[in-house]
């Protein structure tokens, strides 16, 4: 039997008031791709922070053995010196430095404090070739896409002579093409003898690259499944993650039929948006869409199709320049030139980037939930803290936000629970129209079902829901109609009864314009 490169034995970790890990065991073989699955808040990232030295030795219980030796990492530098490198979901690159500078930041090729740029560029070029990135080493990181930035992070890890690479949600922000390239690179690294630990909610990707999967639930190891044993099925993984069989990925839904002569709750006509910098370029080109009360309408498109640009420009012109077109609410034209105007007309927008635009991460759950409608919990311009706490507590229970109190800082919550706080914030505002942009990105299957149920309930209450998603099964499972976009233009409108992944993809890759 091959000796494992990594053993984590009986790992336990406690934060104030929260037991994050209890008796977790993990074993990784040399050259193995080992996936870790679990719901948001299950303890996956905490376990990897213990391994990589973010949580130093002495702050946790248990033992870490790497290449047969017991390790006591005091910080990240100590773990990297042994060849353990972690790439977090939020990439740690400096956008205005070059690719080469980022790769060797903190690990410079220098003699007596003087950097050798020729040596730096030569080694950077070799590493970029190794990860399959055809960019000049002097290109600024800000000038390349997220998919290429992931490859730069891996090149940076390789520069540190990595033996065990940890990737936390590596494809969460990538399109299908970039995801496929990254997964291929992980397989190539396996052939080179580099072991990888991959944390991901995308079970299809796990099945493609992983040799084994360890399932963690509520901070405990549930089981480890192997591909060769034939145990690693999606249903088995889901059952381990949520503690029960998930017979239906989506709530049962009766398709919306509408009333004769009914005005749409929201109608957008001939909407055109120009790029904020390159103002000659149209990112949304004469798009017309509508959604009725009680209806869930999807918008599908590949990366760069213009879906988010459409949503943000309608919501208070938060994106773009030279915007033209008409917005109607219940058949009457309205102005949405600012965010307060849009909110005042009963329109809410749940952003795809919850950490930058959706939440104040250093504030509490309670304050985040009420911030969109402070007048509802204020008297004479002063916030009633008791009323705010009652409102927040009711949403904590109804949305199943996993936190000890509403005074918990939002930045400490898992991604799924953060998303529930964003939804709670806009539901509290009482909108008639809810625009959801990638509402389940980076969220596990159990939390997804809870959010789907909330969305379905909102539609049943008469809200009009616009649902933007890159996951076609999600759109097919939730929506009554689906619009498709390509290169800023509307290319199709598909009713639920005729919608399949093949039909949607055909429209999403079409160059013809549906007007």
- Asked if residue 276 and residue 238 are part of one domain, the reply reads no
- Asked if residue 126 and residue 36 are part of one domain, the reply reads yes
Residue 260: inside a domain: no
- Asked if residue 115 and residue 20 are part of one domain, the reply reads yes
Residue 17: inside a domain: yes
Report whether 2 contacts 27 (CB < 8 A).
no
Query: Which residue pairs from 156-160 have beta carbons closer than 8 angstroms and sit at least 24 positions apart in sequence?
Result: 156/85, 156/102, 156/103, 156/104, 156/105, 157/85, 157/87, 158/127, 158/130, 158/131, 159/103, 159/104, 159/107, 159/123, 159/127, 160/80, 160/83, 160/85, 160/107
| Strand partners for 230 | none
- The last residue of a domain, from among 179, 209, 242: 242
- Asked if residue 131 and residue 22 are part of one domain, the reply reads yes
Report the distance separating Cα 105 and Cα 155, nearest Å.
Answer: 12
Report the distance separating Cα 200 and Cα 71, nearest Å.
Answer: 26
- The last residue of a domain, from among 242, 274, 303: 242
Please report, for the domain that includes residue 294, its CATH number.
3.40.50.300
Residue 33: inside a domain: yes
pLDDT for 372 equals 84
- Asked if residue 300 and residue 179 are part of one domain, the reply reads no
Report whether 260 contacts 443 (CB < 8 A).
no
Report the distance separating Cα 494 and Cα 484, nearest Å.
Answer: 8
- Asked if residue 19 and residue 113 are part of one domain, the reply reads yes
CA angle 372, 377, 380 (to 5 degrees): 110
- The last residue of a domain, from among 189, 209, 242: 242
CA angle 82, 85, 89 (to 5 degrees): 165
pTM over 0.85? The answer is no
- Asked if residue 287 and residue 202 are part of one domain, the reply reads no
Residue-level pLDDT, tens digit, the chain, 515 residues: 579 999 999 999 998 767 889 999 999 999 999 999 887 678 888 999 999 999 999 999 999 999 999 999 999 999 999 999 998 877 788 999 999 999 999 888 888 888 899 999 999 999 999 888 889 999 999 888 877 888 898 899 889 889 999 998 888 767 677 788 888 889 999 999 999 999 987 888 888 899 999 999 888 999 999 887 777 787 888 788 877 555 567 888 776 666 767 789 999 999 999 988 888 889 999 999 999 999 999 999 877 789 999 999 999 999 899 999 999 999 999 999 999 999 999 999 988 877 777 888 899 999 999 988 888 888 888 888 899 999 999 989 888 888 888 999 888 887 778 888 988 998 898 899 999 998 887 777 777 888 898 899 899 989 999 999 988 888 999 999 999 998 899 999 999 889 998 899 889 887 666 65
Q: Which position has the token pair 């890759």?
A: 509
Query: Closest Cα partner for 350 from 271, 468, 453?
Result: 468
- Asked if residue 201 and residue 91 are part of one domain, the reply reads yes
- Asked if residue 164 and residue 54 are part of one domain, the reply reads yes
Report whether 108 contacts 101 (CB < 8 A).
no
The number of distinct structural domains making up the chain is 2
pLDDT for 256 equals 66
Residue 416: inside a domain: no
Residue 407: inside a domain: no
Report the distance separating Cα 308 and Cα 466, nearest Å.
Answer: 12
- Asked if residue 29 and residue 96 are part of one domain, the reply reads yes
Report the distance separating Cα 71 and Cα 51, nearest Å.
Answer: 9
Report the distance separating Cα 10 and Cα 21, nearest Å.
Answer: 9
Query: CB-based contacts of 375: which residues, under 8 Å, 6+ apart?
Result: none
Residue 400: inside a domain: no
Per-residue exposure over 491-508, b if at least 16 CB sit within 10 Å of its own CB, e if not:
bbebebeebeeebbeebb
- Asked if residue 60 and residue 184 are part of one domain, the reply reads yes
Residue 409: inside a domain: no
pLDDT for 27 equals 96
- Asked if residue 59 and residue 111 are part of one domain, the reply reads yes
pLDDT for 1 equals 57
The whole domain housing 191 covers 6-242
Residue 361: inside a domain: no
Query: Closest Cα partner for 300 from 452, 153, 494, 450?
Result: 494
């Amino acid at each position: 039997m091959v000796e494992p490169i990594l053993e984590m034995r009986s790992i336990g970790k406690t934060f104030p008031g929260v037991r994050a890990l209890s008796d977790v065991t993990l074993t990784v073989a040399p050259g193995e791709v080992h996936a870790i699955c679990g719901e948001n808040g299950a303890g996956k990232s905490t376990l990897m922070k213990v391994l990589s030295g973010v949580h130093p030795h002495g702050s946790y219980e248990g033992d870490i053995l790497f290449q047969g030796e017991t390790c006591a990492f005091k910080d990240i530098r100590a773990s990297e010196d042994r060849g353990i490198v972690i790439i977090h979901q939020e990439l740690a690159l400096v956008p205005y430095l070059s690719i080469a500078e980022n790769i060797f930041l903190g690990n410079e090729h220098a003699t007596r404090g003087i950097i050798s740029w020729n040596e730096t560029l030569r080694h950077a070029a070799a590493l970029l070739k190794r990860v399959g990135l055809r960019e000049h080493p002097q290109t600024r990181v800000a000038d390349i896409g997220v998919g290429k930035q992931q490859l730069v992070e891996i090149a940076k890890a390789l520069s540190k002579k990595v033996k065990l690479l940890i990737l936390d949600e590596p494809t969460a922000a990538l399109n299908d093409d970039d995801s496929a390239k990254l997964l291929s690179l992980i397989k190539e690294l396996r052939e080179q003898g580099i072991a990888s630990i991959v944390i991901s909610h995308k079970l299809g990707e796990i099945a493609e690259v992983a040799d084994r999967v360890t399932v963690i639930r509520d901070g405990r190891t549930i089981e480890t499944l192997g591909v060769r044993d034939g145990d690693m099925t999606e249903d088995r993984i889901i059952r381990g993650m949520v503690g029960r069989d998930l017979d239906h990925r989506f709530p049962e839904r009766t398709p919306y039929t509408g009333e004769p002569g009914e005005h749409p709750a929201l109608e957008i006509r001939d909407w055109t948006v120009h790029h904020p910098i390159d103002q000659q370029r149209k990112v949304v080109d004469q798009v017309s869409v509508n959604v009725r009360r009680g209806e869930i309408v999807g918008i599908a498109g590949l990366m760069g199709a213009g879906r988010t640009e459409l949503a943000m420009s309608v919501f208070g012109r938060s994106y773009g320049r030279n915007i033209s077109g008409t917005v109607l609410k219940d058949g009457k034209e309205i102005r949405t030139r600012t965010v307060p105007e849009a909110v005042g007309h009963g329109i809410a927008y749940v952003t795809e980037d919850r950490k930058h635009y959706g939440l104040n991460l250093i504030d509490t759950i309670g304050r985040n939930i009420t911030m969109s409608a402070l007048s509802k919990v204020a008297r004479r311009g002063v916030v009633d803290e008791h009323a705010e706490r009652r409102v927040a507590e009711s949403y904590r229970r109804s949305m199943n936000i996993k936190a000890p109190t509403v005074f918990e800082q939002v930045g400490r919550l898992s991604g799924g629970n953060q998303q529930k706080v964003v939804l709670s914030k806009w539901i509290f505002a009482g909108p008639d129209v809810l625009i959801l942009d990638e509402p389940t990105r980076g969220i596990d299957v159990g939390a997804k079902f809870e959010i789907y149920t909330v969305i379905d309930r909102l539609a049943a209450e008469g809200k009009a829901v616009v649902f933007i998603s890159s996951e076609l099964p999600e759109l097919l499972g939730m929506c009554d109609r689906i619009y498709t976009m390509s290169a800023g233009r509307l290319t199709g409108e598909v009713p639920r009864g005729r919608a399949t992944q093949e039909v949607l993809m055909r429209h999403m890759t079409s160059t013809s314009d549906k007007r």
